[in-house]
Amino acid sequence: MPFLELNNVVKSYGENTVLRGIDLHVDKHEVVCLIGASGCGKSTLLRCVNALESINDGDIRLEDDVVSGEGVDVNALRRKVGIVFQSFNLFPHMSVLGNVTLSPIRVLGVSRADAEEQALALLKRVGLDHKAGAFPDQLSGGQQQRVAIVRALAMNPDVLLLDEITSALDPELVAEVLNIVRDLANDGLTILMATHEMSFAREVSSRVAFLHEGQVLEIGPPEQIFGNPAQERTKEFLKKIIEAGRL
């Protein structure tokens, strides 16, 4: 039984159908990368999994329990599914520690002392424990994104969604963020990530899914997708990526 399942998921914004029947299964401890042209629906897909967007058809299941549609406790779902955004979205009026401990304290009911202890341990892991008292605008983009990852991890999610988390970073800051993702993947965290970092996707992912016009056109192990794609569209996309020097 797959850990996270998307079955025939359809999502439209008014007339514009963005996801046209997505089928995607993610097993526990798997790292699945979503690749595809900008606007093909990667962010929308991730936001649907996290119930930040409602879906129009199909269903999403977590451990075989339907987590989409009416009557679902979205706050309970979001405790299990963490998401990190391209633009960090840290809370600017809170310190790093405040950002990380907010939801453990206010949602899980953890005591402040325990939450801070856990937060500091996590921050230490990403090399930012010395920035616990800093505010987001005092950090570099890479540091902000690392804090955002820690903030999601502080809720102990079962699956982590990463939406192009390095796309807003200066090139020299990309590695420090990807190193953390690599660590998390090695630790066995289930990860579903949209990315344009093809060589990283090739290195860490168990499987790569190529999205085209709101559908999973091709999915398979990275060697297959990058080395010997079956679909013409996938080849075209990868060719453009290679031309841009990104692979």
Ligand X SMILES: Nc1ncnc2c1ncn2[C@@H]1O[C@H](COP(=O)(O)OP(=O)(O)O)[C@@H](O)[C@H]1O
For binding to ligand X (CB under 6 A), which residues are involved? 13, 16, 18, 38-44
Query: In terms of CB distance, is 153 or 198 closer to other proteins?
Result: 153
Compare residues 44 and 101 and give the one whose CB is closer to Mg ion. 44
Does 11 participate in binding other proteins (rule CB under 8 A)?
Answer: no
Which strand ranges, in their side-by-side order, compose the sheet holding 215-220?
81-84, 159-163, 190-194, 31-35, 207-212, 215-220
Q: Are 69 and 62 in contact (CB under 8 A)?
A: no
CA contacts within 13 A on the Cβ side of 211: 28
Binding mask 149-178 for other proteins (x = CB under 8 A): --xx--x-----------------------
The dihedral built from the CA positions of residue 117, 119, 125 and 129, taken in this order, carries a sign that is negative
Identity of the residue numbered 123: L
- Residue from 56, 89, 95, 167 touching other proteins (CB under 8 A): that is 89
Size of the site for other proteins (CB under 8 A): 26
Chain contacts with Mg ion (rule: CB under 5 A): 43
Q: Map residue 73 onto helix, strand or coil.
A: coil
Residues 6+ apart with CB under 8 A from 17: 10, 11, 214
> Is residue 56 part of the contact set for other proteins (CB under 8 A)?
no
CA distance linking residue 30 with residue 25, whole number of Å = 10
Those residues whose C-beta lies under 8 Å from the C-beta of residue 215, and which sit 6 or more positions away, are 19, 20, 21, 22
Least CB distance from residue 91 to other proteins, whole Å? 6
79 binds other proteins (CB under 8 A): yes
Nearer to ligand X, 44 or 103 (CB): 44
Pick 48 or 62: Cβ nearer ligand X: 48
The residues binding other proteins (CB under 8 A) are: 47, 50, 52, 74-76, 78-79, 82-83, 85, 87, 89-93, 102-103, 106-108, 137, 151-152, 155
